[in-house]
């Protein structure tokens, strides 16, 4: 039964014609309100994940729940369909259970606050924001156990509940929730921050309605949606062909030794509509890498990618949703069945963007970017600080790393930058001051960016020296299946993790591991993937490569991928370069648009030799339901 | 020696304002800027303004100057080639920066990554390491340091920056590297990060130090050139430059620490507004400085402009105090357009700039701009700059008509639409510095200046509810006025990073006293008598774990009497005002700052002759304006003829040499005792 919205004043908003100036003013004001939400959040949140790295997402929606401004598209309609209860003035909804909102949030670490905005007894708008909590309890520190078999192992799971009910705060509820986490101080501060942000936005919406009138405000939001619908319709007609186009990519493994997992998407246009069909995607995993993908959220991702690739002028909102149909097979990796574990969904979430890029650019290679949106690698480090004078106090770090941005039509991919919007790295001096850590190295990994006319960005080589005994966990991907290159560009290097023990021995560790003991003096080399290359590397000016050798971004060995022979000082041997390039051109086969590297079977065969890790085993599915999804 | 001369060099014009300390009388002058060597334009201006006033240049005691020379060096990449020395393992510090890609989801596809301010090729690493408590973990390898310095020297760098990890706690390694650098390359300036900015966060500290090193030679050359030329033309008074934080610094100090004058330009307007505010008797002011390509806004509360700890120049955010000036790409030259796919009306941030400029200027501009809309609506009469050139109204109409056609609305509605949208953009910027910071704009007056500020100030005040809307005296040269009327200032900051519960009042007070002594010494070195210096302090407090600190001003006595608890209580109050809640989390004292200030000059404004309230003698005629959806008759007035107490009903246009003030219908303007125009709803 859908939610019942209680309004004292049930009269409908009148539709009024909006002049274009008023419309733009209202759009602009809403965009400013959204920026204000971000600012409020960052200033008051406490966990480094949100305050330093910005892992949170706001939105403002119309009374029906359609997003007018924001990034991830609205899930409010889906929530309203499932929520059994009333929505009244003074209520505020709080939730974290992906299964209660159709995957609007995709793991229980994301806490979502949803505020219905009432004015004069009528529902005028919704404001919402969710942010990643550093710890919500459960079996491992950070609450993202790689080997979880079900969501019950992944910490506190909050169904949609009212944190405020008709203006009354539910203190007992919050006590109960905060009792489940290892970091109630961070969670409380971050939750306060989410609430403050939603309230700020609500205030702005009411001010707007007061200024222009309720009917004008609501009519304007509808016109903004319609305007976006018109623009997207034109764009779709231009950019999407009616012949089906498919693209597939992989999650390397599930952390339990099985992989890779395939994600496949097929796109075609039928009349005005685009169909995006994930048929052919592998079934759900027994571990936690499942990504419960909300259809509406995927529509938004698709729309934003279309806009960024083809026409960055357009401002996006939910208006174009009915132009897109998303089909995700039940029981697949992207629509796992309850109670499948979901906490490690970051890898598939990232991979979705590489797939979108590959799909959209296939028929228009000049717009195509290489791969690199691969995951957001996590490191967890926790323990009781056993250094002198620290009295064994508890510490816990959750840090998000970055890799290389792919080579782009625009130019090289930046080295060691974030593909996620708004994210920043944590200052290393901050880490050293507040955690038992010394960061011995924070540099890019030479040659890790794929060779190309436009080089893929290098990944980061970060070396943590642990100053107290503790445990670490790592979540990363792209260690087995490389980030692909395009239009002649080479794939980027894969991710690696190496522990160098205080006694001088080294061991290669997996990219999805929990509960690894580390001792004082041990070092962890956390090396991320590089972006794929774009365009023919033999066309790149050798002088640029000479400079990059001096800059330490490329080595003399790496230069050979560009057909460049150079000295350690970056001096170019022009004759040798010419003949190497000629030789390489002569050996070329027909150019494909995508360069995926040697292929899965070859990767498996050479895995242990190249990565130091056992090749993942091809997963098999035996249960009837999930097997169907695989077919 | 009774005169102060304020000089502000802008892109198009150099503004000068000569102020008589004794009478408050002043003269203003505008001369074309000379971008090749701006001292030429300055000297031209000095010549003509002293002549106009009948003043001997030797009578100018203070030459006070706001300059964008440092800003432009950064923006145009014309700074010195900087060699950067960092800790082993951190060579890519400027290349990786904060890993931040601006814009929303997928914005990385279209983001052009800027080149680092110190080239990666010119960045070298050295061994040696301090830990977070300042203990040496590994010693320097002096032989290696020498080798690295030699390689930089051979490469041809023009300045050296040393920025080592954790040097904000212990700068010994940096000092030693600096000494060796002076041995290896005697004539190259060396900047040490712990000297420029002793604060945590390696990227920001390094960037600030590199920025300082990069602009130092440019600023040094500029200052010495200007000083020489002024001397040879008889100006022997003291040369001071305006800091980004609105204070003045001696030209010598500016040569050492040019990072402090990166936002000297916009600071001039705010300090000018401050002087006006004192004379008008308003304590709370929002400023609206509208230029050709952009608008700067700032907030003054209780006669103190808000300051921030960062200076943003282009894409760089440097850690140096500046006035909290927000800039939006909305100005007279902002171009209006209608994108095909959405059919929306957009204004800016693209600008026609000074060249080709708006269509109405007749210099080859073809795209419709905000100025063109103002001309079409009749807000800008055809004669500008005292009639030196005539605006092309027909051309402006033709260009705005393209917008009207694209939107399928009448010409005048399209023109007013452009104005409404640009006003809305300014309103958005003003909200960021007021409402978003917890200030109620209705408790502030709005002051519009710069070339086009007085044209928009009334309409924006309506949106804000900030009354009166003020068009100050000589709005076109308010920056120069600000340069002339502010005071000397210097500051120092340190990281403290301790829980309040672990902090003793005596320790805090002792440290602050030490910082006060340091800053006072800097001013006395600049020739300011100790008796004229005042000290102020700020502590940044937050709930431990937050990223955002609230700065609180304190003084030594208050600290000793109210104790740490006194500070914390004020923090809680401020936090509640900003974010509506408090927490049980312990408080952390993050940073300390000491500010030393020279004496504030007592500079009264000259009083205007009293009139009888009737402005008719200043009325030149009438002009048709389009306002509130219909054509109306607006009175046109000559500002120089207006008298104290004159009242002008809107709609009206008040013109002067370099600016036009628009009074909207339903509002009324009153001339105050010193010549400011105060507009309120009728």
pLDDT for A401-449, tens place per residue?
Answer: 999 999 999 999 999 999 988 888 999 999 999 899 999 999 999 999 9
Cα B326 to Cα B286: distance, rounded to the nearest angstrom = 12
pLDDT for A630 beyond 70: no
Mean pLDDT of A265-270: 96
Cis check: omega of the bond before B356, within 30 degrees of 0: yes
Contact A328, A278 (CB under 8 A): yes
Alpha-carbon gap: B19 to the closest alpha carbon of chain A (Å) = 41
Residue position matching structure tokens 């051979």:
B154
Alpha-carbon gap: A33 to the closest alpha carbon of chain B (Å) = 9
Could you tell me if B114 lies within 8 Å of chain A, comparing CB atoms?
A: no
**Highest mean pLDDT out of A303-312, A596-605, B255-264, B430-439:** A596-605
First-last CA distance in chain B:
46
Residue B653's pLDDT band (cuts 50, 70, 90): very high
Cross-strand partners of B369: B335
Cα B292 to Cα B287: distance, rounded to the nearest angstrom = 16
Residue A52's pLDDT band (cuts 50, 70, 90): low
The more confidently predicted of residues B551 and A259 is: A259
pLDDT for A591 beyond 80: no
Which of A364, A358, A343 has the alpha carbon at shortest distance from A238?
A: A364
Could you tell me if A430 lies within 8 Å of chain B, comparing CB atoms?
A: yes
Is A415 in Cβ contact with B103 (below 8 Å)?
Answer: no
Which of A270, A271, A254 has the alpha carbon at shortest distance from A262?
A: A254
Cα B463 to Cα A208: distance, rounded to the nearest angstrom = 11
Is A43 in Cβ contact with B344 (below 8 Å)?
Answer: no
First-last CA distance in chain A:
33
Contact A410, A312 (CB under 8 A): no
Sign of the dihedral defined by the CA atoms of residues A451, A454, A455, A457, in that order: negative
**Would you state the pLDDT for residue B276?**
92
Q: Using CB atoms within 10 Å of the CB of residue B668, give its burial: 0 to 12 exposed, 13 to 18 middle, 19+ buried.
A: middle
Cross-strand partners of B663: B652
Is A309 in Cβ contact with B424 (below 8 Å)?
Answer: no
Q: Which of B96, B131, B342 sits opposite A432 (nearest CB)?
A: B131
Mean pLDDT of A224-242: 89
Mean pLDDT of A212-232: 93
Is B132 in Cβ contact with A441 (below 8 Å)?
Answer: no
Three-state DSSP at A614 gives coil
Q: Kindly give the residue spans of alpha helices, DSSP state H, lying in A240-363.
A: 295-310, 346-361
Cα A584 to Cα A591: distance, rounded to the nearest angstrom = 13
Could you tell me if B302 lies within 8 Å of chain A, comparing CB atoms?
A: no
Contacts of A28 in chain B (CB under 8 A): 421, 424-425, 428
Token couple for A611: 């990565």
Is B547 in Cβ contact with A71 (below 8 Å)?
Answer: no
Could you tell me if A43 lies within 8 Å of chain B, comparing CB atoms?
A: yes
**Would you state the pLDDT for residue B199?**
85
Could you tell me if B389 lies within 8 Å of chain A, comparing CB atoms?
A: no
Chain A nearest-CA residue for B408: A20
Is B201 in Cβ contact with A192 (below 8 Å)?
Answer: no
Chain B nearest-CA residue for A313: B339
Element (H, E) at A165: strand A161-165
What is the average pLDDT value for chain B, to the nearest integer? Answer: 90
Alpha-carbon gap: A251 to the closest alpha carbon of chain B (Å) = 20
Token couple for A375: 């995951």
Q: What DSSP state is assigned to residue B192?
A: E
Cα A107 to Cα A344: distance, rounded to the nearest angstrom = 8
Cα A250 to Cα A533: distance, rounded to the nearest angstrom = 18
Residue A62's pLDDT band (cuts 50, 70, 90): very high
Residue position matching structure tokens 């339903």:
B666
pLDDT for A238 beyond 80: yes
Contacts of A526 in chain B (CB under 8 A): none
Mean pLDDT of B586-615: 87
Could you tell me if A189 lies within 8 Å of chain B, comparing CB atoms?
A: yes
Residue A631's pLDDT band (cuts 50, 70, 90): very low
Could you tell me if A305 lies within 8 Å of chain B, comparing CB atoms?
A: yes
Residue A53's pLDDT band (cuts 50, 70, 90): low
Sign of the dihedral defined by the CA atoms of residues A49, A50, A51, A53, in that order: positive
Residue A77's pLDDT band (cuts 50, 70, 90): confident
Could you tell me if A164 lies within 8 Å of chain B, comparing CB atoms?
A: no
Is A43 in Cβ contact with B581 (below 8 Å)?
Answer: no
Residue B548's pLDDT band (cuts 50, 70, 90): confident
Element (H, E) at B207: helix B202-232
Could you tell me if B543 lies within 8 Å of chain A, comparing CB atoms?
A: yes
Exposure letters A421-430 (e unless 16+ CB within 10 A, then b): bbbbbbbbbb
Contact B290, B453 (CB under 8 A): yes
Is B409 in Cβ contact with A415 (below 8 Å)?
Answer: no
Alpha-carbon gap: B436 to the closest alpha carbon of chain A (Å) = 7
Own/partner pairs, A562-567, CB within 8 angstroms, 24+ separation: A562/A451, A562/A537, A562/A538, A563/A537, A563/A538, A564/A540, A566/A542
pLDDT for A30 beyond 50: yes
**Would you state the pLDDT for residue B317?**
86
Strand B82-87, strand B159-163: pairing: parallel
CB proximity under 8 Å: A 440-469 to B: 440-444, 460, 463
Could you tell me if A308 lies within 8 Å of chain B, comparing CB atoms?
A: yes
Is A414 in Cβ contact with B431 (below 8 Å)?
Answer: no
Contact B356, B371 (CB under 8 A): no
Cα A340 to Cα A150: distance, rounded to the nearest angstrom = 5
Token couple for B426: 């300014």
Residue A623's pLDDT band (cuts 50, 70, 90): low
Which of A95, A109, A92, A99 has the alpha carbon at shortest distance from A183?
A: A109
**Would you state the pLDDT for residue B385?**
47
Which residues, other chains included, contact B504 with Cβ-Cβ below 8 Å and sequence gap of 6+? none
Mean pLDDT of A4-30: 89
Could you tell me if A52 lies within 8 Å of chain B, comparing CB atoms?
A: yes
Could you tell me if B420 lies within 8 Å of chain A, comparing CB atoms?
A: yes
Chain B nearest-CA residue for A43: B548
Helix A295-310 × helix A346-361 angle, to 10°: 50
Residue B197's pLDDT band (cuts 50, 70, 90): confident
CB proximity under 8 Å: A 561-620 to B: none
Q: How many CB pairs under 8 A join A and B?
A: 222
**Would you state the pLDDT for residue A506?**
97
What is the average pLDDT value for chain A, to the nearest integer? Answer: 92
CA atoms within 13 A on the CB side of B177: 35
One DSSP character per residue, B397-447 reads HHHHHHHHHHHTS-HHHHHHHHHHHHHHHHHHHHHHHTGGGT--GGGSEEE
Chain B nearest-CA residue for A402: B99
Mean pLDDT of B205-220: 93
Residue position matching structure tokens 């000092």:
B175
Give the Cβ contact number of residue A135 at 10 Å.
26
pLDDT for A354 beyond 60: yes
Token couple for B580: 């509506």
pLDDT for A629 beyond 70: no
Considering chain B, what percentage of its residues have pLDDT values greater than 70? 98
Q: Which of B104, B345, B432 sits opposite A20 (nearest CB)?
A: B345
Residue position matching structure tokens 């419709």:
B368
Is B585 in Cβ contact with A185 (below 8 Å)?
Answer: yes
Contact A181, A96 (CB under 8 A): no
Residue position matching structure tokens 């065969």:
A605
Considering chain A, what percentage of its residues have pLDDT values greater than 90? 75
Give B223-277 pLDDT, tens digit per residue.
999 999 999 989 988 899 999 999 999 998 898 889 999 999 889 999 999 999 9
Contacts of B106 in chain A (CB under 8 A): 304-305, 307-309, 353
Chain A nearest-CA residue for B414: A21
pLDDT for B120 beyond 90: yes
Chain B nearest-CA residue for A419: B108
Contact B94, B120 (CB under 8 A): yes
**Would you state the pLDDT for residue A88?**
96
**Would you state the pLDDT for residue A551?**
97
Q: Which of B105, B129, B166 sits opposite A71 (nearest CB)?
A: B105
Element (H, E) at A527: strand A523-527
Is A414 in Cβ contact with B108 (below 8 Å)?
Answer: yes
Beta strands per DSSP E along A271-415: 273-277, 324-327, 378-384, 394-400
């Amino acid at each position: 039964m859908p939610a019942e919205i209680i309004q004292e004043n049930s009269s409908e908003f009148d539709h009024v014609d909006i002049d274009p100036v008023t419309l733009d003013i209202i759009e602009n004001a809403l965009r400013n309100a959204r920026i204000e939400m971000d600012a409020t959040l960052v200033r008051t949140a406490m966990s480094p994940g949100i305050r330093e790295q910005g892992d949170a997402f706001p939105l403002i929606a119309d009374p029906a729940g359609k997003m007018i401004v924001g990034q991830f598209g609205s899930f409010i309609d889906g929530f309203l369909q499932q929520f059994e209860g009333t929505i009244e003035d003074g209520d505020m909804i709080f939730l974290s259970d992906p299964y209660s909102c159709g995957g609007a949030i995709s793991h229980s670490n994301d806490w979502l606050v949803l505020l219905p905005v009432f004015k004069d007894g009528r529902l005028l708008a919704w404001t919402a924001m969710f942010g990643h909590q550093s710890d919500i309890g459960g079996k491992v520190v950070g609450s993202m156990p790689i080997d979880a078999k079900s969501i019950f192992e992944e910490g506190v799971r909050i169904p949609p509940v009212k944190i405020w009910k008709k203006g009354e705060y539910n203190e007992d509820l919050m006590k109960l929730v905060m009792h489940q986490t290892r970091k109630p101080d961070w969670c409380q501060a971050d939750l306060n921050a989410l609430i403050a942000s939603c309230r700020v936005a609500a205030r702005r919406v009411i001010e707007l309605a007061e200024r222009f009138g309720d009917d004008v405000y609501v009519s304007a939001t509808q016109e903004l949606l319609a305007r976006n619908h018109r623009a997207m319709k034109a764009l779709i007609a231009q950019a999407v062909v009616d012949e089906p186009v498919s693209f597939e990519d992989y999650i390397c493994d599930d952390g339990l030794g099985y992989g890779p997992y395939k994600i496949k998407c097929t796109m075609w246009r039928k009349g005005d509509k685009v169909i995006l069909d994930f048929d052919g995607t592998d079934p759900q995993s027994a571990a936690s890498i499942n990504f419960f993908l909300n259809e509406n959220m995927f529509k938004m991702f698709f729309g934003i990618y279309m806009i960024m690739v083809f026409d960055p002028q357009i401002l996006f909102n939910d208006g174009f949703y009915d132009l897109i149909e998303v089909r995700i097979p039940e029981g697949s990796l992207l629509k796992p069945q309850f109670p499948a574990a979901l906490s490690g969904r970051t890898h598939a979430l990232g991979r979705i963007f590489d797939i979108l890029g590959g799909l959209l650019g296939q028929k228009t290679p000049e717009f195509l970017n290489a791969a690199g949106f691969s995951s957001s690698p996590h490191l967890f480090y926790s323990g009781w600080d056993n250094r002198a004078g620290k009295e064994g106090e508890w510490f816990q770090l959750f840090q998000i790393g970055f890799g290389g941005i792919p080579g782009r039509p625009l130019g090289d991919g930046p080295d060691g930058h974030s593909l996620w919007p708004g994210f920043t790295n944590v200052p290393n001096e901050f880490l050293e001051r507040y955690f038992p850590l010394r960061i011995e190295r924070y540099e890019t990994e030479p040659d890790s960016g794929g060779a190309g006319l436009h080089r893929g960005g290098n990944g980061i080589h970060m070396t943590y020296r642990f100053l107290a005994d503790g445990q670490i966990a790592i979540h990363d991907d792209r260690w087995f299946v490389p980030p692909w290159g395009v239009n002649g560009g080479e794939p980027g290097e894969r991710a690696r993790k190496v522990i160098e023990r205080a006694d001088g021995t080294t061991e290669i560790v997996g990219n999805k591991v929990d509960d690894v003991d580390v001792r004082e003096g041990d070092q962890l080399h956390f090396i991320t993937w590089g972006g794929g290359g774009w365009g023919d590397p033999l066309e790149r000016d050798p002088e640029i490569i000479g400079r990059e050798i001096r800059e330490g971004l490329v080595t003399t060995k790496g230069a050979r991928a560009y057909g460049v022979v150079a000295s350690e000082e970056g001096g170019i041997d022009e004759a040798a370069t010419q003949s190497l390039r000629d030789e390489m051109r002569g050996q070329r086969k027909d150019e494909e648009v995508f360069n995926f590297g040697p292929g899965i079977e070859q990767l498996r065969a050479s895995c242990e030799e190249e990565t130091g890790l056992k090749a993942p085993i091809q997963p098999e599915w035996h249960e009837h339901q999930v097997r169907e999804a695989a077919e | 020696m009774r005169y102060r001369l304020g000089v502000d060099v802008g892109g198009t014009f150099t503004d000068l304002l000569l102020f008589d300390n004794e009478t408050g009388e002043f003269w203003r002058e505008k001369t074309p800027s000379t971008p090749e060597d701006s001292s030429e334009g300055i000297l031209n201006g000095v010549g003509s303004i002293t002549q106009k006033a009948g003043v001997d240049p030797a009578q100018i005691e203070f030459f006070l100057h706001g300059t964008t020379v440092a800003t432009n060096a950064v923006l145009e990449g014309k700074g010195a080639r900087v060699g950067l020395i960092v800790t082993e393992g951190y060579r890519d510090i400027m290349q990786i920066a904060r890993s931040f890609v601006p814009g929303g989801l997928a914005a990385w596809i279209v983001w052009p990554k800027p080149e680092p301010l110190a080239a990666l090729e010119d960045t070298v690493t050295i061994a040696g390491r301090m830990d977070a408590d300042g203990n040496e973990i590994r010693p320097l390898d002096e032989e290696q340091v020498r080798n690295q310095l030699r390689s930089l020297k051979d490469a041809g760098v023009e300045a050296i920056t040393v920025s080592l990890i954790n040097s904000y706690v212990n700068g010994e390694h940096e000092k030693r590297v600096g000494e060796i650098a002076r041995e290896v390359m005697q004539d190259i300036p060396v900047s040490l990060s712990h000297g420029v900015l002793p604060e945590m966060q390696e990227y920001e500290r390094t960037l600030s130090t590199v920025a300082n090193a990069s602009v130092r030679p440019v600023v040094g050359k500029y200052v010495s050139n200007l000083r020489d030329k002024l001397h040879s033309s008889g100006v022997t008074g003291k040369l001071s430059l305006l800091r980004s934080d609105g204070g003045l610094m001696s030209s010598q100090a500016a040569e050492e620490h040019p990072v402090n004058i990166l936002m000297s330009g916009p600071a001039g307007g705010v300090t000018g507004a401050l002087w006006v505010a004192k004379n008008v008797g308003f304590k709370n002011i929002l400023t609206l400085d509208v230029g050709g390509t952009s608008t700067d806004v700032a907030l003054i509360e209780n006669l103190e402009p808000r300051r921030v700890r960062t200076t943003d120049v282009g894409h760089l955010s440097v850690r140096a105090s500046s006035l909290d000036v927000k800039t939006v790409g909305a100005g007279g030259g902002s171009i209006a357009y209608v994108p095909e796919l959405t059919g929306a009306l957009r204004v800016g941030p693209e600008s026609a700039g000074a060249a080709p400029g708006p269509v109405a200027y007749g210099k080859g501009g073809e795209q419709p701009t905000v100025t063109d809309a103002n001309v079409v609506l009749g807000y800008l009469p055809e004669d500008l700059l005292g009639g030196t050139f005539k605006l092309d109204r027909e051309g402006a109409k033709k260009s705005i008509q393209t917008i009207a056609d694209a939107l399928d609305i009448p010409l005048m509605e399209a023109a007013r639409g452009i104005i409404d949208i640009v006003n809305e953009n300014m309103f958005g910027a003003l909200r960021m510095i007021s409402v978003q910071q917890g200030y109620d704009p209705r408790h502030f007056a709005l002051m519009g200046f710069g070339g086009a500020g007085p044209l928009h100030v009334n309409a924006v005040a309506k949106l804000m509810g900030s009354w009166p809307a003020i068009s100050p005296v000589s709005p076109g040269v308010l920056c120069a006025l600000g340069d002339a009327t502010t005071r000397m200032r210097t500051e120092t900051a340190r990281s403290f990073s301790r829980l309040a519960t672990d902090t003793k009042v005596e320790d805090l007070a002792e440290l602050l006293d030490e910082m006060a002594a340091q800053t006072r010494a800097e001013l006395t070195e600049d020739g300011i008598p100790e008796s004229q210096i005042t000290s102020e302090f700020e502590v940044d407090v937050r709930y431990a774990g937050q990223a955002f600190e609230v700065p609180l001003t304190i003084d030594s006595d208050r600290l000793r009497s109210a104790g740490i608890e006194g500070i914390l209580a004020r923090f809680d109050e401020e936090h509640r005002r900003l974010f509506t809640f408090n927490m049980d989390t312990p408080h952390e004292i993050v940073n300390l700052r000491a500010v030393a200030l020279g004496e504030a000059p007592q500079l009264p404004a000259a009083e205007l002759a009293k009139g009888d309230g009737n402005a008719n003698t200043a009325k030149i005629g009438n002009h048709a304006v389009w306002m509130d959806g219909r054509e109306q008759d607006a009175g046109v007035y000559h500002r120089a003829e207006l008298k104290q107490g004159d009242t002008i009903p809107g709609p009206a246009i008040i013109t002067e040499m370099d600016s036009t003030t628009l009074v909207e219908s339903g509002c009324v303007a009153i001339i105050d005792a010193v010549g400011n125009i105060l507009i309120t709803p009728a």
